[in-house]
Structure 1
Amino acid sequence: MITKKISFLYFIGFLCFFSLTAQEKKSNKTSNKRSPVFSSVIYQGDDEIYKRNPLKSDEFYSPILQGCYPDPAITRKGEDYYMVCSSFAMFPGVPIFHSKDLVNWTDLGGVLNNVSEFNPHDTGISGGVYAPGITYNPHNDTFYMIVTAFTGNMGNIIVKTKDPKNGWGSPIKLAFNGIDPSIFFDDNGKGYVVHNDAPDKGKELYNGHRVIKVWEYDLDKDQVIPGTDKIIVDGGVDLSKKPIWIEAPHLYKKDNHYYLMCAEGGTGDNHSEVIFISDSPKGPFKPAPNNPILTQRYFAKNRPDKVDWAGHADLVLGPDNKYYGVFLGIRPNEKDRVNTGRETFILPVDWSGTFPIFENGLIPMVPKLKMPNGAINKTGNEGFLPNGNFTFTENFTSKKLDYRWIGLRGPREHFISIVKKGLQINPFPVNIKELKPTSTLFYRQQHNTFSFETTLDYKPESEKDLAGIVCLQNESFNYVFGVTKKGKDTYVLLERTENGQSEIIASKKIEIMGAIRLQVKAAGDNYQFSYALNGANFENLGTGVSGDVLSTNVAGGFTGALVGLYATASNNAILK
């Protein structure tokens, strides 16, 4: 995380769970007349890079998780691989995935899925929970997920399970400050926690000066052992060069040496991955002479098919007995804006020498990789997540809603219900700009060029009612495209919000005889919003608009753009 991360290092009061429950009860009493029903969604990705780089039979695409899935961490038990990512204020917290071969992945939902235990109800979208670690401990056959939660005075927490496919235990609050924790188990079963922290009081030398600490971990009490903390890296590889944001540490053991791998440079243009070595998990650690071992910072800004910001990595031994590293990166659009967010990439790692190095991680990255020996690319089939260009169709007929649909600041189950005609959203008296759970079913934007279309059955009763599509970077930067009322008339409108200031930039009076179809299409920075009435063709509402407010370049923060099915009983996009 970059320097803005510090702004989140305060914890927000006590949980207002009962007021949230009251809000949901109020919403559930909303008459069905006012509750929109979405009968279908079609999301289609159409990026040129995949058209120009078709796969051969022994290849797969990286990123393996497209869209906002940053800060990956990975672990292995036998033939099973589990990977987690940051989720911030999205709900459930900490998405988790399973694979047998590092190519084909299934979505297992979220680790933190109990809102009474993890409740980011009043946090900005870039708050919540981020930078998880996941580790399997063979000594007690237990998986550990450790993470920093900036909500509800939680801080650093750890949860455990014997089987990640069957849920996790309750969060255990850990007695240390800082961020980006991970846990390591030595050959003798002893546990250690490493994390990013501030320097000792009075010893901060510059803005972005951070340290890596290690603690011994008591497996019986599930707590760090008081007094065992030690700074093992001060500043980074070379303190004299004032490196910033040494973070995301992971400990490994290989050939009787201990390795500490960290991100350095902040999660932006200068991001990188560096490695240190020691004879003890508590140091002293010496940096490798060939650092960084992964970065994209040295190359031309205008290079084609650019991947940037590579770092925040974790290593795992693959099914072919070769190491692989997962890490975050970004793929900006033609205006160098980051709308899809930080995604999860993978590269093979050469660890034949003393230090690991990401293969082709120090040259401009390419979209295709050779699969691990024995793997067969099944992405998009047999329940595996797709990648590359793909079409995702949702008719809301399955009893189990796809895990790619998520809530914001609260569970999706609190406002959705499956009815005969499709998915009904029971609107909260909350609009998209508020720091509260919203009645919006979100899907991550996974391509720079895409279309998202839905069919909506809805007749608003007042100007306070609105339903449709929202494209959101955060609560202060978004587009709302929906159906509402003005007097006795029904309108479709498009509202742009930038830095908290909203403006209706297009609207049209309509007469809905049946369902209305709504569509947003993006070609890089250009977004076009369209609607179709009564079986007719799509008609543009206004001209194309810039996706600038959906980029982290303009909006800031750590997330990618989300596209959502939105309903509110507290609309403030009011036509004059």
Structure 2
Amino acid sequence: MQVGLLSVLMILVSVAGFSQNKKKKTSKSDNIPLFSQVVYTGDDDVYKNNPLEADEFYNPILQGCYPDPAITRKGDDYFLVSSSFAMFPGVPIFHSNDLVNWNQVGHVLDRKSQLKVHDTGISAGVYAPAIKYNPNNDTFYMITTQFAGDFGNIVVKTKDPFEGWSDPIKLTFNGIDPSMFFDEDGKAYVVHNDAPDQGKELYNGHRVIKIWDYDVENDQVIAGTDKIIVDGGVDLSEKPIWIEAPHIYKKNGKYYLMCAEGGTGGWHSEVIFISDHPRGPYKPAPSNPILTQRYFPQERANKVDWVGHADLVEGPDGKYYGVFLAIRPNEKDRVNTGRETFILPVDWSGEFPVFENGLVPMEPKLKMPEGVENKAGRDGFFPNGNFTFKEDFSSEKLDYRWIGLRGPREDFMTLTKKGLLIQPFEVNIKEVKPTSTLFHRQQHKNFSFETTLDYKPASEKDLAGIVALQNEHSNYVFGVTKMGDEYCLLLERNERPRRSRQVESKIVASTVIDINNPVHLKVQAHGDDYQFSYSINGTDFVNLGGTVSGDILSTNVVGGFTGCLLGLYATSANDAVPE
């Protein structure tokens, strides 16, 4: 993550999954919203125009806001994590045996003692987690930077990623994007991005990579062992920016340091260095970068961009693979699905690794490793491509794809025989507090997200419905509230103009609505065009507010690091007044 944004973010600043308890026989109060079903459907042209052959799978492997991926291996088990910022629970973790088929096994940070993001903006919180397996003590480590809760850099660990993780151990160094390296001799190291020594910063974006010796017994970096191993980037004379996300690997007796360089936007790339010792000195490869999409025309088909922030692992076929983040902008070059997790094979037959087809315009499909069957969307494996996800809330365990914001889902949710009750908080979506909202990531450019709502608000302070959210100051609210003796459905646009600290709220449209029966609410998008509609009979939908722009749901318009989140929202602090 870019350090230039950190000062701004700092100012802004139980068990995995849903409760395993039996569904409660809770009677529904009229002013507690009941959501009885959700259907999310993706319908992107890229998948319709590029059907899979029997030996192919789609890239990205994780669609939607799953940025900053990191990966590790123990035997035949692969574990992958990604950033989660102020989402709760934090750091989604996925498992695979073949690097093609992935299932989510939970979240690394799933308790309030591990994740204290209750008072921070959505793009603060947990950045760039790195997961590493240490064969010397048969332990997994997840190290990350948590910009909230007086944490900073932390590490958690476990013997079994399926069984949960320890409470955080605070680490005594500054900077961001830490990663660990465990050598064969038992020694351990931490590498991370940091600012240059005081007074030595040469230009905006000048950063360094530092290394520390790590005391495995006491889980702490060893004081006085810090050393700068990369200053600026591959070539300091060219003023490279934002060297970050370092990882160390060992192959054929040599040590390789791989980093992102160029910032997390259009100049993003991945670069590699080599050394005879983990503490350096490191020499850059002559052919850097080894992964980027920055040299190609902007108007290219099926554009994949902002490629970088990678991690390497040896695959089951003995070949190396790299996971990394990238974006797929819509027709107006807006980034509503956020940074996603991609994978590419890596050619490491020579001295340095190179991502195969990572230096040409990327394609939406890949060949599978030999002997692997594509099971995406079946047998519990995560779907990709075009798919439909249905949720009726009848399961004892809520799907891991559902997340909260700044606080646990369990604090506001109750499963009943009729569906999901959301107890409204006295917090609206524009506040930097835990909200009573259950979110699902937008995973396609073209999608629909529909739910059924049974709700009778008691006053104008009560509202429930759908929210499409990029952050606390950039979102759409589509919900049922009360005005006088009438029930109303409204569409509100919230945005913060540039150079302003105030959120401007506008009622796009509103209508009186009959809520004697459950109301069906739907948001759908075709690229940058979003529409909100409702039905009182479940069949005939009526558009409210026409077509609205997805501009305020785009990362590269409003800033931050997340993608659009689609939420089931309830509040008892509504301030949207129908017109």
The interval holding the TM-score normalised by the smaller chain is over 0.9
Output the amino acid matched with 1:324.
Y
Note the alpha carbon deviations across 1:462-491, whole angstroms, 9 max, x for none: 100000000000000000000000001001
Whole-angstrom distance in 2 between the partners of 1:90 and 1:82: 20
Is 2:129 aligned against 1:148?
A: no
2:135 counterpart residue number = 138
Alignment of 1:243-258 (within 5 A): 243-258=240-255
Shift in Å, 1:31: 8.0
Alignment of 1:253-402 (within 5 A): 253-402=250-399
1:551 counterpart residue number = 554
Output the amino acid matched with 1:369.
L
Whole-angstrom distance in 1 between the partners of 2:371 and 2:334: 38
Is 2:463 aligned against 1:466?
A: yes
Pairing partner for 1:54 from 51, 54, 58? 51
Alignment of 1:176-255 (within 5 A): 176-255=173-252
Note the alpha carbon deviations across 1:247-270, whole angstroms, 9 max, x for none: 000000000000000000000000
2:107 counterpart residue number = 110
1:412 counterpart residue number = 409
Aligned 8 A contact 1:2 1:268 in 2? no
1:125 counterpart residue number = 122
Q: TM-score, normalised by structure 2?
A: 0.96
Shift in Å, 1:127: 0.2
Shift in Å, 1:118: 1.5
Note the alpha carbon deviations across 1:49-80, whole angstroms, 9 max, x for none: 00000001110001000000000000000000
2:542 counterpart residue number = 539
Is 2:104 aligned against 1:101?
A: no
Aligned 8 A contact 1:11 1:155 in 2? no
Note the alpha carbon deviations across 1:321-352, whole angstroms, 9 max, x for none: 10000000000000000000000000000000
Aligned 8 A contact 1:450 1:521 in 2? yes
Shift in Å, 1:365: 0.2
Output the amino acid matched with 1:509.
V
In structure 1, stretches of 5+ residues that fail to align are 14-28
CA distance 1:408–1:30, change in 2 (3 Å): farther
Shift in Å, 1:513: 2.1
CA distance 1:158–1:381, change in 2 (3 Å): same
1:20 counterpart residue number = none
Output the amino acid matched with 2:429.
I
Output the amino acid matched with 1:502.
S
Aligned 8 A contact 2:489 2:511 in 1? yes
Aligned 8 A contact 2:33 2:570 in 1? yes
Aligned 8 A contact 2:98 2:315 in 1? yes
1:453 counterpart residue number = 450
Note the alpha carbon deviations across 1:383-437, whole angstroms, 9 max, x for none: 0000000000001000100000000001111101101210110000000000000
Whole-angstrom distance in 2 between the partners of 1:8 and 1:156: 18
Aligned 8 A contact 2:70 2:323 in 1? yes
Q: State the secondary structure of the residue aligned to 2:426.
A: coil
Whole-angstrom distance in 2 between the partners of 1:544 and 1:406: 28
Aligned length: 561
Whole-angstrom distance in 2 between the partners of 1:9 and 1:126: 7
Q: State the secondary structure of the residue aligned to 1:34.
A: coil
CA distance 1:224–1:12, change in 2 (3 Å): farther
Q: State the secondary structure of the residue aligned to 2:546.
A: coil
CA distance 1:38–1:101, change in 2 (3 Å): same
Q: State the secondary structure of the residue aligned to 1:413.
A: helix
Pairing partner for 1:165 from 159, 162, 166? 162
Shift in Å, 1:3: 4.9
Aligned 8 A contact 2:9 2:123 in 1? no
Note the alpha carbon deviations across 1:138-183, whole angstroms, 9 max, x for none: 1100000000000011000000000000000110000100000000
Pairing partner for 2:574 from 567, 571, 574? 571
2:519 counterpart residue number = 516
Output the amino acid matched with 2:517.
G
Whole-angstrom distance in 1 between the partners of 2:539 and 2:488: 17
Q: State the secondary structure of the residue aligned to 2:545.
A: coil
1:5 counterpart residue number = 5
Shift in Å, 1:537: 0.4
1:441 counterpart residue number = 438
Whole-angstrom distance in 2 between the partners of 1:324 and 1:222: 29
2:504 counterpart residue number = 501
Whole-angstrom distance in 1 between the partners of 2:246 and 2:186: 20
Q: State the secondary structure of the residue aligned to 2:145.
A: strand
Output the amino acid matched with 1:5.
L
Whole-angstrom distance in 2 between the partners of 1:405 and 1:535: 24
CA distance 1:204–1:30, change in 2 (3 Å): farther
Shift in Å, 1:501: 0.6
2:16 counterpart residue number = none
1:18 counterpart residue number = none
Q: Superposition RMSD on alpha carbons, in Å?
A: 1.3
Aligned 8 A contact 2:106 2:400 in 1? yes
Q: State the secondary structure of the residue aligned to 1:310.
A: strand
Aligned 8 A contact 2:171 2:220 in 1? yes
Whole-angstrom distance in 2 between the partners of 1:336 and 1:404: 26
Shift in Å, 1:12: 8.1
Shift in Å, 1:575: 2.2
Output the amino acid matched with 2:241.
I
2:20 counterpart residue number = none
Output the amino acid matched with 2:295.
Y
Whole-angstrom distance in 1 between the partners of 2:98 and 2:5: 34
Q: TM-score, normalised by structure 1?
A: 0.96
Is 2:481 aligned against 1:484?
A: yes
Whole-angstrom distance in 1 between the partners of 2:577 and 2:560: 28
Whole-angstrom distance in 1 between the partners of 2:377 and 2:427: 36
Whole-angstrom distance in 2 between the partners of 1:321 and 1:59: 19
Aligned 8 A contact 1:12 1:153 in 2? no
Aligned 8 A contact 1:11 1:153 in 2? no
Output the amino acid matched with 1:446.
Q
Output the amino acid matched with 1:269.
G
Aligned 8 A contact 1:11 1:150 in 2? no
Whole-angstrom distance in 2 between the partners of 1:557 and 1:9: 9
Shift in Å, 1:9: 6.7
Whole-angstrom distance in 2 between the partners of 1:249 and 1:326: 14
Whole-angstrom distance in 2 between the partners of 1:215 and 1:369: 38
2:22 counterpart residue number = none
Q: State the secondary structure of the residue aligned to 1:283.
A: coil
CA distance 1:322–1:514, change in 2 (3 Å): same
Once the two structures are overlaid, the 10-residue window that deviates more, 418-427 or 352-361, is 418-427
Note the alpha carbon deviations across 1:508-543, whole angstroms, 9 max, x for none: 011122110000110000000000013450010121
Whole-angstrom distance in 2 between the partners of 1:222 and 1:556: 35
1:17 counterpart residue number = none
Output the amino acid matched with 1:477.
S
Aligned 8 A contact 1:30 1:427 in 2? no
Whole-angstrom distance in 1 between the partners of 2:12 and 2:571: 26
In structure 2, stretches of 5+ residues that fail to align are 14-25, 497-502
Whole-angstrom distance in 2 between the partners of 1:4 and 1:558: 13
Shift in Å, 1:555: 1.1
Shift in Å, 1:116: 2.8
CA distance 1:356–1:535, change in 2 (3 Å): closer
Whole-angstrom distance in 1 between the partners of 2:202 and 2:74: 42
